[in-house]
Structure 1
């Protein structure tokens, strides 16, 4: 039984011969005609392009020729001006006079050296000719000539170019050049006039004219015609705003309606500005003459195209009549082909079918591509997607669980992502979906489904997970840093008092005092406490270290020597530090401590022996990457890799590695600050940190720091306090710790300053506002109740902009560095404060103020 669709096809097949109107609208006629029309349009476009290419080629030819002519004219003018200038200089130097015997032979020799020169003469300021190279040539009146008037009062050596004029008895106009000449006393004595043949400017045109219709003109910068070759020929109407030579030395335009006699002609005009004269060398050609050959080709091609279109239409009509009879029987086949094409497009997902009864596993071409099978490779049929050499064992387990849940009617279908690793190809993630098909037999039912590549989606999800982990880690570190900074602030005040009074006691105790050893130990303990507090506060205070240029390779080698000096023979340690490591900008102490901590952690992971390998090298990143902590942007990076084959890091410890005081070596000397130092180094330098570890597989840390784009500035010189002692400057001292205020007052007084101490910043502000002119500087703590140090300095500087300012702090808080820059603080010192550092800072600041 036929379907209605097939019956309709049969009806159409029996409808009789087609009518002419139907044939005209049939695609077998329309398509060839349209193709022929498109070819005609293509030919038309090609002809239009050929026309434009012809015009462009002519413009380039004319441009090259006019540039050469302009250069030739400039060279001739330069030679003429050189001869005139040599004459003027000799007259100015008094080498000869106009009435000397050598005057006329010298003028005649210089005129003869220039082929285009017809006359060279010396005229007085009244226009009277004093000497001439050729006495037989009649002279025109000089006093009224434009070139003569222009030379009167002109600077020495400045040449002028006059309008071409006819000299008495000469058949053609001559081009006059003029230059003033001055006597030995420095007053203008007259004008040097050089009359040249027009070949001076247009001599090369007659030899290099590209065509009989070519016209050469010299046009002034204001658009007026100066000279034409041939005379009176070529375009004479110049539009307003034509290109001035000072903006575009080379230019071109078209004059579509330039009048040449009674006829209207179209010109291609190309110009080039002259360097030695305020005018343009213009070369023009009749556009119709340039396109004459193109028009002949265009008529020939057009006739051929129209004939081809007519023949195509006739043959298409004949072919359509025969084809229409076959179309009815081919429609059904065409529909089937369209369905097959749509199915092939859908197969980009990959189609698979598993029939256990027949031991058959069918895969579409796309599915074979996803699984890494060739067109003729055999596929195992023992289980659904059971490619043991391509899917890991745990992936098989997840697939089996999903299929089992589906077969037990727990899910309408199953969907699972498998990691497929074809031999010799990169692993990919593939989402497999399927469902069971009905069957009447025993055993597992057939399964069928689709699959598509989700590698990019999995990579994006992994990157999102890493970024989320970094965000959570950053929040924890920020919270811990804030807490550590708050605790360290009060502890720093205690350390500052201990260190400050200890230094003063040490200075007062003599070298042989029995108290000296005890004071030395007190100060050593204070310095160790300062170092410990700096490590703690650095976790919450970016950029606390001193940035300068240093050699990372040298510091790494020092850290390597310290970390591996007591290694047992069972540990094989190798260091590979490349010789092409560039200097970088940053904190060298932080870099050294980061290297030392990574190396010591790796050494401590090998108590029973093993291998330790460290590599320092440059790496060029072409695409952005998200690492364990931070991300890499495209550019050059310095990479330090520390790799050990120890027991690895437990997964539950990885999220806490960068937190202060977290350690897995409690009771074995671990402080929990080693990885915090590494984190601070990466954070302050804008770097990144990558971690690869697994239990029993060792650990590898990759520390990345950006390489500088150029040379960095060297360290600044430090001015000692003794080099510039105080000169009685009144300094406002503010700190909420009374002991520190008293200590600072005593120290500043000994250094030659007059301190005024306050423990309340509001009271200090009131005292400053009462007498702002009294104070020359301010030394203030940053974190104080009621008012911060930066806020106090800002309000004081609003009253006294020239106030010198020093901020003393251990933990400035968020945006502290930006606040220092905005407020204009001169120096920032870290607590606990060394009195020598304070003296040096004040000496440097006040020395700059005095200068």
Structure 2
């Protein structure tokens, strides 16, 4: 702190009483004026020096205030920033950590000061990683790297780190500063996105393959059934024809699994009690898993209502129980259990498309050999299998995943070491039962009464087969190979067309667009769509739109007869297909 400058005032000469001081030009007056002038000038200089000193002091105070403010902002930025910051001395003893470092690692500042950062090491980096890091720092160079470290609670996390030496004015290293960012969640989300994109790509491929495959299966299955009907009762070819039909149906089951995985399986969901649905499957599941495996059923005490197609419950249970059975090499137990749980926003953030709320949980556990973490990571991928070649399609768990995702849920696989495996299917809970009249197929095959049916199919073999089936059922048939031909035939054929049986996916115009064109001339026509897989303009996420009639390929004559009769007997909805 500077002191106030002092001012020395010269002592004026004593006044002479006998001669009062007056302005005079005598020799005695000149020295007095000069002294006073020097005094005045000295006083002015000192006043200017004092003013300059005050200005310098004020500037210094302002600079100090700015420096304190800048330092406060810097400290606040470091403390409140998203990145973790740690400062050590040259022996790597921690001198400072910010609050983010505390939050990420789980250690308090008090626990960290004076400690070496090696307390965070997870063992996932080899010694060479740290040698390279210290080689850079010792030579005054920054180090950039990705580390897998361990929190205080033992949980691993991944961080990107930038560590730099801090030098004094003479260029000597006096500290090291590390700036780190926890990227664990980001990597998890990137992995989830990549997995979702991969599944979507494979799903589109699987859906396309299933569509084409179903068309060919329809030709094989339909013609084989027609051939069987025309065989003599004692013909030796019955066995061969039955083998063809059986193989075609088994192939159709595989395509259904592909469609379920691809989320293009046609579904008609309804609210049901999962406890009752599982009860209805137990007998079949018991036969499926064999006598060496015990099946234990533990239903929840309260109702477990979910909205799902009942057929999909069968598919989920069948695939999970077969998977569990194959994991048990001798004798063991499979346990099916239902329960209810609440899923938080944090839990749902781990599963795409899920929303927080109440869920019903269907658990299938086994006492088999269990799964490694590597197997669990790939368990739901299509065509992934740990079974020997020829003993599995690798579609079972992928099918379960596709079905559950299609219904707004998620599935989790766990396998504690030496304790078998458990799969937990989570489906959104429904609070109220749904009263929907069920439609059951008649036992006898319904036949037509001469009504006119136009069949539109751009696959010539399927068109011929479909027309043959329709004629054998008693319908008048107009066959058109594609949508343009259908419009021309409609113009050329006089009279009313009672029903349009059209493929969904065709070149030039899809089935729904064709139905709209034909309804413009014949508003009362009924429409029955057919396809090897569903399309978005027929079903959203595979869920059939209300009042739309659909039959999945491949189908036999009985299925076709039932769907046609149901469509003809339904109430007309002329504008529905145009919407």
Answer yes or no: same fold by TM over 0.5.
Answer: yes
Q: 1:354 maps to which residue? A: 89
Contact 2:448 2:475 in 1 (8 A): yes
Quote the offset at 1:710 in angstroms: 3.9
**1:648 aligns to 2:371 (yes or no):** yes
In the alignment, the residues of structure 1 paired with residue 61 and residue 507 of structure 2 have an alpha-carbon distance, to the nearest angstrom, of 91
Deviation at 1:410, TM superposition (A): 8.5
Deviations 1:448-505, CA, capped at 9 Å, x for gaps: 22456x44x5313422331222112211221232133223322322222223443x44
Give the match for residue 191 of structure 2: 465
Paired with 2:542 and 2:554, the residues of 1 have a C-alpha distance of 19
Equivalent residue, structure 1, for 2:35: none
- What SS does structure 2 have at the residue aligned with 1:828? strand
**Within 5 A, what are the aligned runs for 1:110-149?**
none
| Residues 542-599 of structure 1: CA deviation (Å, up to 9, x unaligned) | 2413433433234446366356544469xxx866442224222222222222222223
Q: Map residues 155-554 of structure 1 onto 2, 5 A cutoff.
A: 341=72, 344-345=75-76, 348=79, 350-356=85-91, 361-363=94-96, 366=99, 369=102, 372-373=106-107, 377=111, 384-387=116-119, 390-394=120-124, 397=127, 400-401=130-131, 403-407=133-137, 409=139, 411-414=141-144, 417=147, 419-423=149-153, 433-436=162-165, 447-451=175-179, 454-455=181-182, 457-502=183-228, 504-505=229-230, 523-540=245-262, 542-554=264-276
3-state SS of 2:345 partner: coil
Aligned to 1:561: 286
Report the Cα offset of residue 619 of structure 1: 2.4
Q: Map of 1:688-727 to 2, 5 A cutoff?
A: 688-691=410-413, 700-708=422-430, 710-718=432-440, 720=442, 726-727=448-449
Q: Is the 8 A contact 2:293 2:332 kept in 1?
A: no
Aligned to 1:10: 2
Residue 778 of structure 1 aligns to a residue in which SS?
A: strand
Using a 3 Å threshold, how does the CA distance of structure 1 residues 749 and 627 change in structure 2: closer, same or farther?
Answer: same
**Aligned residues of 1:721 and 1:836 also touching (Cα < 8 A):** no
Q: SS where residue 717 of structure 1 aligns?
A: coil
* C-alpha distance in structure 2 between counterparts of 1:372 and 1:658, whole Å: 35
Matches of 1:741 and 1:396, distance apart in 2: 66
Q: For 2:482 and 2:193, locate their aligned partners in 1 and report how far apart those are by CA, in whole Å.
A: 44
TM-score (norm 1): 0.50
Equivalents in 1 of 2:320, 2:75: separation in Å? 56
Measure, in 2, the Cα distance between the counterparts of 1:378 and 1:762: 78
Name the counterpart of 1:638: 360
The answer to whether 1:733 aligns with 2:455 is yes
Distance 1:713 1:813 in 2: 28
Deviation at 1:15, TM superposition (A): 10
Query: What is the count of residue pairs matched by the alignment?
Result: 511
Kindly tell me: are residues 842 and 674 of structure 1, through their superposed partners in 2, closer, same or farther at Cα, counting changes over 3 Å?
same
CA distance in 2, matches of 1:499, 1:625: 50
> In structure 2, do the counterparts of structure 1 residues 588 and 634 end up closer, same or farther at CA, with 3 Å as the change threshold?
same
> RCO higher in 1 or 2 (8 Å CA, sep ≥ 6)?
2
2:308 to 577, 586, 605: 586
Q: State the alpha-carbon separation in 2 of the partners of residues 628 and 801 from structure 1.
A: 49
**1:615 and 1:642 in contact (8 A); partners too:** yes
CA contact (8 A) 1:769 1:799 kept: no
Change (3 A) 1:378 1:822: closer
Q: Is this contact kept in 1: 2:203–2:261, CA < 8 A?
A: yes
Structure 1 residues 63-89: Cα deviation after superposition (integer angstroms, max 9, x where no partner):
xxxxxxxxxxxxxxxxxxxxxxxxxxx
Aligned to 1:833: 555
Q: Is the 8 A contact 1:575 1:613 kept in 2?
A: yes
- SS of alignment partner, residue 632 of structure 1: coil
Deviations 1:294-325 (A, max 9, x none): xxxxxxxxxxxxxxxxxxxxxxxxxxxxxxxx
Does structure 2 retain, via aligned residues, the 8 Å contact 1:761–1:786?
yes
Find the aligned partners of 1:673 and 1:428 in 2 and give their Cα distance: 33
C-alpha offsets along residues 243-295 of structure 1, whole Å, 9 cap, x if unaligned?
A: xxxxxxxxxxxxxxxxxxxxxxxxxxxxxxxxxxxxxxxxxxxxxxxxxxxxx
Contact conserved, 2:203 with 2:262, CA < 8 A, in 1?
A: yes
| Cα pair 1:594 1:678 within 8 Å, conserved | yes
Retained in 2: the 8 A contact 1:793–1:823?
Answer: no
Distance change in 2, residues 1:753/1:850 (3 Å): farther
Change (3 A) 1:735 1:584: same
Counting only pairs closer than 5 Å after superposition, residues 782-821 of structure 1 correspond to structure 2 as: 782-783=504-505, 788-813=510-535, 815-817=537-539
Cα distance change, pair 353–833 in 1 and its aligned pair in 2 (3 A): closer
Q: Is the 8 A contact 1:541 1:813 kept in 2?
A: no
Cα contact 1:500–1:743 (8 A) shared by 2 = no
Q: How far apart in 2 are the matches of 1:613 and 1:721?
A: 36
Deviation at 1:844, TM superposition (A): 2.6
Matched, 1:670 2:392: yes
What's the counterpart of residue 324 of structure 2?
602
Instruction: Tell me how far 1:779 sits from its aligned partner.
Output: 2.3
Output the CA distance in 1 between the equivalents of 2:393 and 2:345: 37
In structure 2, list runs of 5 or more residues that go unmatched. Answer: 8-56, 574-579
* 1:93 aligned partner: none
Deviation at 1:781, TM superposition (A): 3.4
Cα separation, partners in 2 of 1:634 and 1:603, compared to 1, 3 Å = same
Counterpart-to-counterpart distance in 1, 2:569 and 2:308 = 27
1:627 positional shift: 7.0
Q: CA deviation at 1:807?
A: 2.2
Distance 1:419 1:513, change over 3 A: same
Alignment RMSD, CA only?
Answer: 4.8
Q: What SS does the corresponding residue of 1:763 show, helix, strand or coil?
A: helix
Distance 1:747 1:759, change over 3 A: same
In 2, the alpha carbon distance for the partners of 1:727 and 1:401 equals 88
Aligned CA distance change for structure 1 residues 405 and 532 (closer, same or farther; 3 Å): same
DSSP-derived class of the 1:829 partner: strand
